[in-house]
Chain A
Amino acid sequence: GENVEQHPSTLSVQEGDSAVIKCTYSDSASNYFPWYKQELGKRPQLIIDIRSNVGEKKDQRIAVTLNKTAKHFSLHITETQPEDSAVYFCAATLPNTDKLIFGTGTRLQVFP
């Protein structure tokens, strides 16, 4: 079945720097890749998603890139701010299934 690996598990950056979180997936048929942000004690919230027919998607300071050949996708956050501090989860899914397969999460800390 599908498996998703996520790196790094923790990431510390200075405010204003960029942060990159990477995920790899095992099944080349995967077709949808969302990213969720979970602040401490709060619900996971969808921040950006990408489908397999697109290589890159951007929303203000957040972007996701997808490399289908290498089976990996990455979250890029530019000009980080302290409020970006949270746990970020990537996920992947196959066609004709309801199941999202999640990565293990990355704890991002942005220091002022």
Chain B
Amino acid sequence: EPEVTQTPSHQVTQMGQEVILRCVPISNHLYFYWYRQILGQKVEFLVSFYNNEISEKSEIFDDQFSVERPDGSNFTLKIRSTKLEDSAMYFCASSEALGRNEKLFFGSGTQLSVL
């Protein structure tokens, strides 16, 4: 069964450093998403991406965040200057766009720790 893959599985960084989280969505999927889960809290929507541009973003997704699809397979989330409160599990997801947010397939996540 095709899967969304994420790398790295764990990332430790110093506050103020830039990090790039990488994702390879399922190949025939058209919608891509980033969600995050701070320890003990709900899974939260960050951003969706369709047709090579941001479709929707949450209030969490401020100027420190950006997404990119640099080639036909990768989808990345960049945090320019990490803060302690960015520590969380970050999930990438993709869907065939049957509906805008239906039947999402999630990756295994990247655990980001900001020290």
Contact = CB atoms under 8 A, between A and B. Distances in A.
Q: Do A and B come from one complex?
A: yes
A84 B91 CA distance: 22
Contact of B42 (A34, A36, A49, A103): A103
B108 A43 contact: yes
Interface residues of B, number: 27
A63 to B, nearest CB: 18
A93 B102 CA distance: 9
Interface string A100-112: 1111110000000
Contacts of B101: 32, 93, 97-100
Interface of A: 32, 34, 36, 41-46, 49, 89, 91, 93, 96-105
20 contacts: A34-B103, A36-B106, A41-B108, A43-B3, A43-B107, A46-B103, A49-B102, A49-B103, A89-B43, A96-B100, A98-B45, A98-B48, A98-B50, A100-B35, A100-B43, A100-B45, A100-B101, A101-B45, A104-B41, A104-B42
